[in-house]
Amino acid sequence: MYAVLSCKDFSLAERPPSRKKAKPSNVGRRASRDMRPLFQMEYYIDARDNPFSPYPTFKMVEHLNQGFWKWDEDVARIKEVVHSPRHKVITAHELRERCAKDAIGNANFIEFFILNKHLVPEEWRGKNIFFLGTLYVHIAEKGKYYVRYVHCDKYGNLTPQIMDTSSDVGENAYVFFYSL
């Protein structure tokens, strides 16, 4: 994860002169208030790297290399997992198969959002967001695969979780997608 600070172009001549006389007590406040719109933080996610393993007993077996891209709220979205009346239970494995053609986020996105909680959209609150691009296996349980997801509570706090792919994703499940 990378953060880049960029400065907008501006000219001092474009700013209207201040009519207030600066007092020693509010000089710092005024300067910081003026500087706020000048700087804009840009965030980059390196989805090529191998992600963090949640526990020492888990080993990564599949990781979709999704390149290096700039974070943009308009590009990232979540999609609700719809349970059909015929299939009441949807496993994480079935969900991975359904989303195989789409640009699903990998586990590097989880780490990015945990480090940058202020970028978590409001719509995520109270939901489980699955990042299906990385698959893990437990060392002791051969043949049993796991995916990672985060639970976002009503305050926007993220709790990383791991789920067996043969388990039901539940009613409040969403998948993280992005489009370039």
- CA–CA distance, 17 with 28 (Å, rounded to integer): 17
pLDDT at 65 over 80: no
What's the pTM? 0.73
- Domain locations in the chain as residue ranges: 2-42, 48-178
- CA–CA distance, 27 with 90 (Å, rounded to integer): 60
Confidence at 8, pLDDT banded by 50, 70, 90 = very low
Sheet holding 68-70, edge to edge: 2-7, 39-46, 68-70
What tokens appear for 87 in the block? 């299939």
pLDDT at 151 over 90: yes
